[in-house]
């Protein structure tokens, strides 16, 4: 079986990201994110480590919250802050900086939303871990997931499409892994497991599922 590249082996280019997310989906976030990292001195280690991978979560979070139909200001700044806050909870040695994130989110409802996003990310991690197992790979932590860029980028694109197509809200993601095991999670008329395989092997033809 061909080894797929870790983050340390692969420079994740902006063109690769744009191809997977059709460019325009991320356009609303890119400049705001770069400006915020500088102006707010967001010195979270994972931002420097994983770079562009972080931006992939922004449209996922935006769609999850949009589908909840809540009365919150869903501008790019708030989406980015909430996403970074959730990642800070999940990746070790960052929780002490959460106070800064909360102070920038004026609406108190965002604290509860961050908790929901954390749980959603945990469910996405569980799904990724399952997918990695289908490739014979062991993923032990959330940071490990972000490191497997050649697998993670197309994987998250499919998750994004599933959320978008089915109007998924955070609590619904908890049953996604079980529904995949039962063969009933559907996107574009196909079992979502087949869609994952197609997306991943299309970008990485040498990968073989067990």
**Degrees (nearest 5) of the Cα angle 167, 14, 57?**
30
Q: Which residues lie across from 191 on neighbouring strands?
A: 186
Task: Note the maximum CA span of the chain.
Answer: 50
Q: With bands split at pLDDT 50, 70 and 90, how would you rate the model's confidence at 126?
A: confident
pTM, two decimal places: 0.79
Select from 44, 131, 55 the least CA-distant residue to 88.
44
Task: Work out the average pLDDT over 5-19.
Answer: 45
Q: Do 116 and 135 meet the contact criterion of CB atoms below 8 Å apart? A: no
**Mean of pLDDT over the chain:** 77
pLDDT digits (tens, 9 = 90+) for 35-90: 898 888 888 888 888 877 888 899 999 999 999 998 899 999 999 999 999 999 99
Task: Work out the average pLDDT over 191-198.
Answer: 67
φ, ψ at 139 (rounded to 5°): -120, 115
Residue, of 176 and 93, whose pLDDT is higher = 93
Domains in the chain: boundaries: 7-203
């Amino acid at each position: 079986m061909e080894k797929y590249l870790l983050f340390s082996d692969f420079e994740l280019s902006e063109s690769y990201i744009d191809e997977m997310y059709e460019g325009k989906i991320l356009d609303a976030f890119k400049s705001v994110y770069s400006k915020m990292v500088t102006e707010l001195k967001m010195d979270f280690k994972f931002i420097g480590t994983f770079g562009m991978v972080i931006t992939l979560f922004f449209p996922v979070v935006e769609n999850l919250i949009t589908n909840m139909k809540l009365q919150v200001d869903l501008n790019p700044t708030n989406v980015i802050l909430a996403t970074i806050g959730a990642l800070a909870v999940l990746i070790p040695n960052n929780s002490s900086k959460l106070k800064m994130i909360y102070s920038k989110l004026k609406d108190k409802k965002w604290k509860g939303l961050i908790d929901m996003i954390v749980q959603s990310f945990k469910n996405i991690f569980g799904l990724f871990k399952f997918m990695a197992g289908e490739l014979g790979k062991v993923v032990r932590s959330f940071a490990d997931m972000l490191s497997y860029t050649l697998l993670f980028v197309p994987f998250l694109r499919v998750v994004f499409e599933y959320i978008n197509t089915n109007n998924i809200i955070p609590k619904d993601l908890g049953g996604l892994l079980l529904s995949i095991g039962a063969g009933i999670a559907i996107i574009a008329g196909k079992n979502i497991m087949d869609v994952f395989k197609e997306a991943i092997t299309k970008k990485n033809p040498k990968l073989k599922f067990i």
